[in-house]
Every structure is written in structure tokens, then in C-alpha cells.
Amino acid sequence: MKKALKIVGIALGTVVLLIAAAALYFNIKGIPYYEVNAPEVTVEPTPERVARGEYIVNQTCVICHLGKDGKLSGTLMEDDPDFGTWYAPNITQHPEAGIGKYTDGELMYLLRTGIKHDGEFALPFMPRFNLLSDEDVKSIIAYLRSDAPRVQPVGTPPPPNEPTLLAKVVANLAMKPLPYPEAAITAPPRTDEVAYGKYLVNGVMMCFSCHSASFETLDEVTPENSEGYLGGGNRIINPQDRTIAAPSANITMHPELGLGQWTKEQFANAVRFGQGADGVALSPAMPKYTLMSEEDISAIWAYLQTVPVVDKALAEAGTANE
């Protein structure tokens, strides 16, 4: 009996020692680094690209990167006891504090994979635009290189991130960069409203990331395979007070739990002004896409008509007005 207890004690002690060693390893290693294989590319900053890039950046990147100074100088993203304190980086043209030293290819690689020019993995909130067309990625880069006020150099970087041990372990074991596309990516023609709406939902605006069941079960390569695709339920950080907002809305065409009884005009008001079908303000976690064109809203609405309905209980996913 004593011998058996001794063996059990040794085994438990070994397990504890291994766990402690692993924790020490990941704590020292921190956020992982990867090899950078940026393409050799030079983006021609045509007026059309700059305008298109401004349209995309000022509806997507500004959500996280817009600082109190009105420029893309970065701001607090999350302060969570489980994952630590994280800041969206400065993406102005400053050579040290911002992205001024990035080549066009390195910016393209970052936007596609989530890997910075020094190899660090841009975690945990950086979207990877792996479904965005090559032309739209080049347009983003053209805008970031332009003389637009929001991208002019700001020399003060946000404070350093403070990841917890859990965040470091998750970053090393559970989250990986996306592969750089092997083939060229083109956007569907705008004349095909459904296909172009899908491109906006999955590739440009990335509506699926917040409006599916959970960040943990997203499929960034094939968004439609995400758990509860567009059925809501994901819990988003409220940008005003950093609290957890109500579960994201079901934006499938479910007649009671989703948008099945909405009109396109009501949907447009929700997207642009954060106003629900009943006139009540949506959750502040929902960005207001005030610049979105009527053409893009119409395309998204057309695509949503084709998405399989998700029948999710109100208690889990909230209503379409949240």
C-alpha cells in the first residue's frame, strides 16, 4: 500500500513539475514569431485605389485603430483578467511608431496572414483579410501611403501589450497564422448582387466574425462553415466601457429571431445608424457604417436572403434589435 501511494505521489509530482515547466516555457516564450515570406510587390497609388482604400479602411480598420487624436494611432482593445491588456497598434506612416518601414509586400503579408514584418503574430484581434481581393488589399495599402490626414505620422505608439500566461499558451497552441494565398483573388462582379454581397459579408466587412456563434469556432478560410454562421450569439466587447455587450444578433432571415420581417430600409438604418427595426438603438458594440453605399447595402441584403436560417433561442442569441 505504501509503495502504491509512493508511486502515485511520484506520478502526481511529475505531472505538476511538467505543468510548471510548460507554464514557465510559454511565459518566457510569449507571443510566437513566424517566418515572413512577403511577396515582392509595389502598389501603384492610383486615385481610384486611394479612394477605394479610404472607403474600406474608414469602415473597418478605424473600429480598432482610430485613436483619440483622430488618426489611426491605435487605442485600447481589451483589458481582460484572463487574456490581459491589448492595444490596437499605430498604423500611421511614422517609421518607428507606425508602419512607415513596412514594404508594400510586408503590409500585404500582414493583412493576409496576421504576421508582422518582424515575424510576430498580430494577436488576438487582428482580422486576417485572406478573402479580400488582391485589388482591394492594394487599395488599402495605397490609402495607408496617401496624404490623407488620418494616416499621417504619429510618433507615440500605444503602450505595450500585456498578455497573460493563458493568452500566451493559446497563442502558441490554439491560434495559428493563415496561409498566404497561392492564387490571385478577385472580387465577384458587382452586377451579381448575391455573390458580391457574400464577398462583402465574408471578405471585406467580415460580418460573420461577430454574428456567428463564437470567435473560438470561426472558420476564417470558409466562413460559411463557422458554427451558427450569421446566427448570432457571439459576445462582443462594448467599445465605450469595455464591458461584454449583449450577444450578437441573428442576421439570418428567421421570421422571429432574425431579420425575416425586416425591410431593406430598416436594415440600412441598422447598418448605417445603429437603429433597430423598432427604432430602438442597437448595442453600442455594433459599429455604425455611415459611409456604406446603397449599392453595398443592397448586395449584402440580397446575400442574406440566401443564407440558411439559424433557429437560435432568444435567450442565447438575443433579438435582431440587439
Domains 47-173 and 193-317 share a fold: yes
**CA distance readout (Å), 313 to 234, 247, 254, 256:** 13, 11, 11, 10
Instruction: Count other Cβ atoms within 10 Å, centred on residue 124.
Output: 19
Q: Which of 292, 307, 126, 130 is nearest to 232 (CA)?
A: 307
**CB of 302 closer than 8 Å to CB of 244:** no
What pLDDT score does 79 carry? 73
Entry pTM: 0.88
**CB of 74 closer than 8 Å to CB of 160:** no
Please give the CATH topology (third level) of the domain spanning 193-317.
Cytochrome Bc1 Complex; Chain D, domain 2 (1.10.760)
Question: CA 27 to CA 22: how far, in whole Å?
Answer: 8
Q: Does the N-terminal peptide bond of residue 81 adopt cis geometry, omega within 30 degrees of 0?
A: no
The CA-to-CA distance between both ends of the chain, in Å, stands at 61
pLDDT digits (tens, 9 = 90+) for 225-248: 999 999 998 877 665 555 666 788
Question: CA 77 to CA 6: how far, in whole Å?
Answer: 49
For residue 16, pLDDT beyond 90: no
pLDDT digits (tens, 9 = 90+) for 136-193: 999 999 999 999 999 999 998 888 989 888 888 888 887 888 999 999 999 999 999 9
> In percent, how much of the chain has pLDDT > 90?
60
What pLDDT score does 242 carry? 58
**CB of 141 closer than 8 Å to CB of 108:** yes
What pLDDT score does 165 carry? 87
Greater pLDDT, 85 or 7: 85
- Give the start-to-end residue ranges of the domains of the chain: 47-173, 193-317
**CB of 317 closer than 8 Å to CB of 250:** yes
Q: What is the CATH number of domain 47-173?
A: 1.10.760
